Amino acid sequence: MENFVFQNATRIVFGRGAEESVGRETAAMARRVLLHFGGKSVKASGLLDRVKARLHEAGVAFEELGGVVPNPRLSLVREGIALCRKHRLEAVLAVGGGSVIDSSKAIALGVPYAGDVWDFYTRKAETKEALPVGVVLTIPAAGSESSGATVITNEDGWHKKDAGGDCLRPRFALMDPVLTFTLPPYQTACGAADIMAHVMERYFTRVKAVDFTDRLCEATLRTIVRNVPIALAKGDDYDARAEIMWAGTVAHNDLLGTGRVGDWATHMIEHEVSGIYDVAHGAGLAVLFPAWMTYVLRHDVERFAQFASRVFDVEHDYALNERTALEGIRRLRAFWKSIGLPGTLSEMGVGADRLDEMAMKCTESGTRGSFVQLAQADVRAILELAR
């Protein structure tokens, strides 16, 4: 096991009615906030009005900025920064999913910084300081509610890039599984793929003697595999929704990565796909992860065979590790297909014409991944396998 420092400061308030404490939690963070949200869902569900009422009751002043889209855009982030400066807002309250939270974190980073906020994403500036961010979560998927990451798309060139730092971990996350009852099946499935991918990026490591976190990863994956079909069959199944929501946070709050070195190449490749084609991040991962697994399998067949037997109950044939491993990949693909996710890039409308461009953009700052270091040609080959 590797040495590690683990600190996750996000206060989680979980369960039915969790968002009712938004006034109190926000007032403890700031007196004047930017209320940031997405498109239709928070208005249609009445959540936005309830949040506003609680803020009024708690004496928290706010300005509103809606319109965050999936794969959130830099232009809206800039608008949010200007709004915060103009009204001297002290914090950002995100009501929504990963896109709203990431946009909120970007605004929080940009307000105290004299230069252009995109500098953090190109690594020209270091993430040291940000306004505090609070979250009311509406979709379990990205794990942004307690991660230190933000992912933003710059429309100028369609570059989708991340920035990260502990100062970006939200102060609090209010998580009521009931808020996820309204999720369309496809969003539930995309969220499931992202949650599983966050675990798998950490699971496929070269670090030895990581038995405890292997088991935590396997438990998290099995929880998703068991509960997502239940939530898809009955959208208002509280217990299934609660299992998925909590698993989604733990999948990406860095606990499961303690003592290990994660890979993250598949995420980086996916960001190129969703940056250009504006597909759902989870759908892109569902297509790319099996392709990555197939491509790197032979670097540690035993680990892939372990994944197959412990997560998908494949009978472990130790004499034929590779057969066991391949069956695990096949079952992962079959599971994702069974919950309505695409199996190939072409099913998502991604043609062959821009594979070179995506492979080039993905590796422009060097190789990707740590389980196996991928150069441009490797990324191109994985995209081809996913086609």
> Candidates 34-42, 230-238, 320-328, 379-387 — which segment interacts with ligand NZQ by CB under 6 A?
34-42
Residue reference for tokens 């032979």: 298
Among 141, 193, 250, 345, binds ligand NZQ (CB under 6 A): 141
Q: Which is nearer to ligand NZQ, 267 or 380 (CB)?
A: 267
Q: Which is nearer to Zn ion, 19 or 194 (CB)?
A: 194
What is the nearest approach in angstroms of ligand NZQ to the Cβ of residue 201?
8
Strand partners, 298: none
Hey, is 61 helix, strand or coil?
strand
What is the nearest approach in angstroms of ligand NZQ to the Cβ of residue 50?
13
Q: Which of residues 244-303 bind ligand NZQ (CB under 6 A)?
A: 252, 267, 281-282
Q: Which is nearer to Zn ion, 176 or 194 (CB)?
A: 194
Work out whether 149 is an interface residue with ligand NZQ (CB under 6 A). yes
What is the nearest approach in angstroms of ligand NZQ to the Cβ of residue 319?
37
> Candidates 48-56, 91-99, 233-241, 366-374 — which segment interacts with ligand NZQ by CB under 6 A?
91-99
Q: How far apart are CA 220 and CA 306, in angstroms?
A: 15
Of the candidates 161, 163, 106, 101, which has an alpha carbon nearest to the alpha carbon of residue 130?
A: 106
What is the nearest approach in angstroms of ligand NZQ to the Cβ of residue 35?
14
Q: Which is nearer to ligand NZQ, 80 or 98 (CB)?
A: 98
Work out whether 102 is an interface residue with ligand NZQ (CB under 6 A). yes
Q: Which parts of 291-346 are beta strand (E)?
A: none
3-state per-residue secondary structure call for 225-267: HHHHHHHHHCCCCHHHHHHHHHHHHHCCCCHHHCCCCCCCHHH
Mask: binding to ligand NZQ, 37-56, rule CB under 6 A, as x and -?
Answer: -xxxxx--------------
Q: Kind and range of the H or E element at 218?
A: helix 211-233
- Token reading at 80: 């949010």
233 in Cβ contact with 190 (< 8 Å): no
> Candidates 22-30, 96-104, 293-301, 336-344 — which segment interacts with ligand NZQ by CB under 6 A?
96-104
Q: How far apart are CA 193 and CA 290, in angstroms?
A: 11
**Total interface residues for ligand NZQ by CB under 6 A:** 34
Q: Which is nearer to ligand NZQ, 102 or 214 (CB)?
A: 102
40 touches which of ligand NZQ, Zn ion, none (CB within 5 to 8 A by kind)?
Answer: ligand NZQ
Work out whether 182 is an interface residue with ligand NZQ (CB under 6 A). yes
Strands 133-137 and 91-96 come out as parallel
Work out whether 99 is an interface residue with ligand NZQ (CB under 6 A). yes
Q: Report long-range pairs for 41-50 (Cβ below 8 Å, ≥24 apart).
A: 41/96, 41/138, 41/182, 42/95, 42/96, 42/138, 44/182, 45/138, 45/179, 45/182, 47/19, 47/95, 47/136, 47/138, 47/179, 48/95, 50/19, 50/20
User: What b/e string do you get for 221-255 counting C-beta neighbours within 10 Å, with b at 16 or more?
Assistant: bebbbebbbebbeeeebbebbbbbbbbbbbbbbbb
Among 26, 104, 150, 213, binds ligand NZQ (CB under 6 A): 150
Per-position DSSP letters for 71-118, written without gaps between them: S-BHHHHHHHHHHHHHHT--EEEEEESHHHHHHHHHHHHHTT-SS-TH
Q: Which of residues 115-154 bind Zn ion (CB under 5 A)?
A: none
Among 145, 176, 194, 243, binds Zn ion (CB under 5 A): 194
Mask: binding to Zn ion, 148-187, rule CB under 5 A, as x and -?
Answer: ----------------------------------------
Among 54, 74, 76, 97, binds ligand NZQ (CB under 6 A): 97
Work out whether 71 is an interface residue with ligand NZQ (CB under 6 A). yes
Binding site for Zn ion (CB under 5 A): 194
Binding site for ligand NZQ (CB under 6 A): 38-42, 70-71, 96-100, 102, 138-139, 141-144, 147, 149-151, 179-180, 182-183, 187, 191, 194, 252, 267, 281-282
